[in-house]
Amino acid sequence: MAQKWNDAPEVATHTNLPEVYFPAPALAAPYHAHGESLGSIPLNPFSQSKHMTTLIESPKSFYPSPNSIQNYDLPSTEQHQRQTSRRICRCSFIVLVLSVLVTALSITVIGLAAGTGVETNRANNAESKLASQPIIDHGCSKNPDSVTGTQYTSDFYDRSTFKIFCNSDAPNPPLQSFFVGTFDDCIDACASYSAYTSGNFPDVSSSSNFTCSGVSFIPDWTNRTTALSVNAPGNCYLKPGPQKSTGLTHPSAEGPAVHAAIISSS
Same domain, 152 and 240: yes
Range of the domain at 96: 76-130
Dihedral sign computed on CA atoms, order 146, 252, 262, 156: positive
Q: How far apart, in Å, are the Cα atoms of 78 and each of 67, 81, 91?
A: 19, 5, 20
Same domain, 97 and 165: no
The predicted structure's pLDDT at residue 135: 81
Mean residue pLDDT across the chain: 74
Would you place residue 159 in the very low, low, confident or very high pLDDT band (cuts 50, 70, 90)? confident
The predicted structure's pLDDT at residue 46: 47
Same domain, 151 and 229: yes
Tens of pLDDT along 4-37? 555 556 655 555 655 555 566 555 555 444 455 4
Is the pLDDT confidence value at 140 over 90? yes
The predicted structure's pLDDT at residue 31: 47
Q: How many domains does the chain have?
A: 2
Would you place residue 170 in the very low, low, confident or very high pLDDT band (cuts 50, 70, 90)? very high
Same domain, 227 and 209: yes
Same domain, 146 and 236: yes
Average the pLDDT over each of 42-51, 168-177, 234-243 and give the range with the smallest value: 42-51
* Mean pLDDT value across residues 76-99: 69
The predicted structure's pLDDT at residue 144: 93
* Mean pLDDT value across residues 203-222: 80
Burial class (CB in 10 A: 0-12, 13-18, 19+), 42: exposed
The predicted structure's pLDDT at residue 226: 93
CB contact at 8 A, 220 and 226: yes
Q: How far apart, in Å, are the Cα atoms of 161 and each of 100, 155, 213, 214?
A: 65, 10, 10, 11
